[in-house]
Amino acid sequence: MKMARALLVALLLVSCFVALGLSGRADAAAERKTVGVYELNKGDFSIKVTNWGATLMSVILLDSRGNFGDVILGYDTVAEYMNGTAYFGGLIGRVANRIANARFTLDGKTYRLVPNDGNNTLHGGHRGFDKVVWTVKEHVAGGSSPFITLYYHSFDGEQGFPGDVDVHVTYQLSSPHVLSVRMNATARGKATPVNLAHHAYWNLGGDGSGNVLGEEVRLFASRYTPVDASLIPTGRMASVAGTPYDFRTPAAVGSRIGGLLSRGVNGYDINYVVDGRGLRPVAVVRDGASGRAMELWADQPGVQFYTANGLSGVRGKGGKVYGHYGALCLETQGFPDAVNRPSFPSQIVRPGKVYKHDMVFKFSF
Ligand SMILES: *[C@@H]1O[C@H](CO)[C@@H](O)[C@H](O)[C@H]1NC(C)=O
Ligand SMILES: *[C@@H]1O[C@H](CO)[C@@H](O)[C@H](O)[C@H]1NC(C)=O
Ligand SMILES: *[C@@H]1O[C@H](CO)[C@@H](O)[C@H](O)[C@H]1NC(C)=O
C-alpha cells in the first residue's frame, strides 16, 4: 500500500513537471489530465489552482499597507497535497462532512461507505474528490475575468456511493477583488447524495502569521445543528442565542471560545443554519492587523465553521509551520449526515438532475 502510494506520487510528480508552465485555453481535443499548477491573474489579485483535487493552492492579495500576502494555508508543491491529510483548499465530495456509521439507505437499498473518521465517513471517504485527478476543461489565465473549469467523472460505486456523477468546478476572478467558486454535479443512472464543499483555510493576516483568534467574524446564522461526541448532528436545530456559537454580531473568533473549551470542545467545528435562501451573505471576516476583509456569499443551507482545531505543526508554504487555530474554514454545504436525517434539507440528486453550489468571496483591504 505504502509502495503503491509512493509510486503514484512519483508518477504524478513526473507528469506534474511536464504540465507545469503550460497555460492558455485548453481545447476539447487536448483536455489535460496530467497534474499541473494553473494561475489566474487579475492585476494585483491572483490565485493558483491544481487539478489534483481541484485544489485552490493560493490566494494572493494586498494588505492595507501595500504588501502582498497569501491568505490561505497550503503547500508549495502538488506532491505535498497528495500526501496531506488536512484537506487544504480541496474540493470535497461526493458528500462533504460526516455520514454516521458510514452507511445510508436510499430507495430501500443500504449503501456501505468507507469509515475514515472513527465509525463515520468524513469528506467522501478514504479517497474523496480532493484526492483524485481532475480534467482541465478550460483555462483563461488573464484578462478581465480569468477562470479555470475542472471536471471529474465519479464512477458508480466510488467510495461506496451509487451511480455515476459528472462534476464541474469553475474558479473565476472578477472585479474588483472577487473570487467565485461555482460547482455543479449531474447524477447519471442512479440517485445519489451529493454535497460538495470548498475547504480553504483562511488566514487574512497571511498564512503562517499566527492564529486567527483575533480576527473578527460575523455569521449570518441564527441557528446551528448541535452534535454528539463524534460530531454527528443530534437532529435538532438550536438557537445560537446565549451560546458560544453566537456570531450574529461581529466578534473576535476567540472571544467566545472559552465557553467551548470549558465543555471539553477544542474549538469551532460546527454546522450553522444560514439565515435566508438563495445566494445571500454567509459570513464576514476582518483582520485588523492587515486591514483585509472577506465577505462570503453562497446559496447552500449551511456553513461548517471550523477553526483548524486539528492543525498542529504542519509544515506548509515556504517552510512556515501551521498550528492550532492557524486558520478558519467556512465550508458552505448541506447539513452533516443529511442523508440519514429526513428533517434536514435533502441532498439526494435523482438521475439526470443537477446539483448546484455557488460561492462568492469579496475581498477588500
Ligand atoms: C507525508 O506526510 C507525513 C505525515 O504527515 C510526513 O511525515 C512526511 O514528511 C510527508 N512527506 C512528504 C513528501 O511531504
Ligand atoms: C464504533 O462502533 C462500535 C459498535 O457500535 C462501538 O463499540 C465503538 O465505540 C464505536 N467507535 C467509535 C470511535 O465511536
Ligand atoms: C456545469 O458547469 C460547467 C462548467 O461551467 C458547464 O459547462 C455545464 O453546462 C454545467 N452543467 C449544468 C448541467 O449546469
* Residue 239 Cβ contacting ligand 1 at under 6 Å: no
Cβ neighbours around 135 below 10 Å, total:
17
Residue nearest to atom 14 of ligand 3 (CA): 184
Of 102, 103, 131, nearest in space to 118 by CA = 102
Query: What ligand has the least distance to the C-alpha of 102?
Result: 2
Residue nearest to atom 13 of ligand 3 (CA): 354
Question: What pLDDT does 146 receive?
Answer: 98
pLDDT tens column, 311-356: 999 999 999 999 999 999 999 999 999 999 999 999 999 999 999 9
Backbone conformation region of residue 76, classed left if phi is above 0, alpha if psi is from -120 to 50, else beta = alpha
Question: Does the annotation list 269 as a binding residue?
Answer: yes
Question: What pLDDT does 31 receive?
Answer: 60
Pocket-testing residue among 119, 122, 228, 230, ligand 2, by greatest number of atoms within 8 A of Cβ: 119
Residue nearest to atom 2 of ligand 3 (CA): 168
Which architecture does CATH list for 2-364? Distorted Sandwich (2.70)
Which protein residues are within 6 Å of ligand 3, measured from CB?
149, 168, 170, 184, 186, 354
* Averaged pLDDT of the chain: 93
d(CA 357, CA 163): 20
Which residue type, as a one-letter code, is found at position 74? Answer: G
Backbone conformation region of residue 152, classed left if phi is above 0, alpha if psi is from -120 to 50, else beta = beta
Which residue type, as a one-letter code, is found at position 182? Answer: R
**What pTM did the predictor assign?**
0.92
For residue 181, report the distance from its CA to the centre of ligand 3, in Å. 13
Judge whether residue 13 has pLDDT over 60. Answer: no
Q: Is 126 among the catalytic positions?
A: no
* Residue 83 Cβ contacting ligand 1 at under 6 Å: yes
Which residue type, as a one-letter code, is found at position 189? Answer: G
Pairing of strands 45-50, 37-42: antiparallel
Extents of the domains making up the chain:
2-364
Confidence of residue 33 (pLDDT cuts 50, 70, 90): confident
Q: Is 215 among the catalytic positions?
A: no
Atom of ligand 2 nearest to the CA of 119: 1
In the chain, DSSP finds a helix count (H) and a strand count (E) of 3, 28
d(CA 124, CA 95): 5
Residues 6+ apart with CB under 8 A from 239: 222, 223
The position carrying cell 487539478 is 51
Determine which one of 123, 168, 177, 199 is catalytic: 199
Judge whether residue 23 has pLDDT over 70. Answer: no
Judge whether residue 14 has pLDDT over 60. Answer: no
For residue 133, report the distance from its CA to the centre of ligand 1, in Å. 20
Determine which one of 168, 198, 331, 357 is catalytic: 331
Query: What ligand has the least distance to the C-alpha of 171?
Result: 3
Q: Is the dihedral of CA 197, 200, 203, 208 positive or negative?
A: positive
